[in-house]
Amino acid sequence: MNQPPFLEKGDKIGIVAPARSISFEEIHPSIRLFQKWGLEVILGTHIFDRCHQYAGTDHQRRDDLQQMLDDPSIRAILCARGGYGTVRIIDGIDFTRFKENPKWIVGYSDITVLHSHIYQNYGIETLHATMPFNIKDPDVKDDTTESLRKALFGENIFYRTPITFPGRTGLSEGILVGGNLSILYSLMGSESELDTNGKILFIEDVDEYLYHIDRMMQCLKRAGKLDHLKGLIAGRFTDMRDNTIPFGMSANEIISETLKDYSFPICFDFPAGHGSLNFALYHGRKIRLIVDREAEVTF
CA distance 274 to 227: 27
- 3-class SS at 259? coil
Task: State how far the Cα of 135 lies from the Cα of 147, in Å rounded to an integer.
Answer: 13
CA dihedral 124, 72, 69, 280 (to 10 degrees): 50
- What DSSP state is assigned to residue 133? G
Judge whether 149 and 11 are in contact, CB under 8 Å.
no
Catalytically active residues, by annotation:
109, 204, 274
Q: How far apart are CA 120 and CA 199, in angstroms?
A: 12
- 19 and 52 Cβ atoms separated by less than 8 Å: no
> What is the rounded CA–CA span in Å between residue 202 and residue 217?
13
For 230, phi then psi, to 5°, come to -95, -15
DSSP 8-class letter at 3: P
Amino acid identity of residue 161, one-letter, is: T
> Do 173 and 230 contact (CB within 8 A), yes or no?
yes
Measured CA to CA, the distance from residue 297 to residue 245 in angstroms comes to 38
For 255, residues 6+ apart whose C-beta sits below 8 A from its C-beta are 203, 213, 217, 232, 234, 266, 268
Tell me how far apart the alpha carbons of residues 41 and 212 are, in angstroms, rounded to a whole number: 39
